[in-house]
Amino acid sequence: MPTSAVISIDGSTNDWVDVAPVPVTASCATPPCDGLLPIAVTVVSTGTDEASELFVRFDLSGGGEALRDEPTLRAVVRMAASPMRPATRGIDRLVLQTTTTLYEKNGFATTGPDDIFAAAWTSDGLEAAVADSWLTFQGIAQLAIVIERQTGDTWSAIAMTEPMPVCWAYLDAATERACEVSP
């Protein structure tokens, strides 16, 4: 993977062509999951210092249309603290539902400047970016993709990947085994 890339969060996948996706296995917790299983995750950063952004793209088995057009489904990029950074805790979630993008820190919806996070549907899934200054995890986290379904007022995970270690900043302080996917 390149150590830096120029990625635009605009729904086009053309700027991801030089970044190798990582095949993932997703589980279906609550069927039906037809077309909703994440099959590949791609991670890249804009650099190796504290000013880096984390870029994530994932492909779904049925393409992005299944989520984009269904208001009772949403995609979540879930980032949790890494054991490599024992001083950090918590869970951040970037949520994209039809045309709405939300960001949650430890279960609370948050807002920030427009350039802190972004997400867009692609033809085969989703692409997203989060500024390192917004993340709690000092450049290393456990990343998982979760697909949720709404029943009444409750959102429940129906399909998810196993958490995978990713790095996007402070790479000079990370050991090689800290990151399964490094930029």
What domains lie within the chain, and their CATH numbers? 14-178 (2.60.40.10)
Average pLDDT over the chain, rounded to an integer: 82
In degrees to the nearest 10, what's the CA dihedral of 83, 118, 21, 25? 60
pTM: 0.87
Distance (Å, rounded) from C-alpha 72 to C-alpha 49? 38
pLDDT value at position 1?
Answer: 37
Quick: pLDDT tens for 46-98: 765 555 788 899 999 888 887 888 999 999 999 988 877 766 778 899 999 98
Residue 41: band (very low, low, confident or very high) from pLDDT cuts 50, 70, 90: very high
Check: CB of residue 84 under 8 Å from CB of residue 178. yes
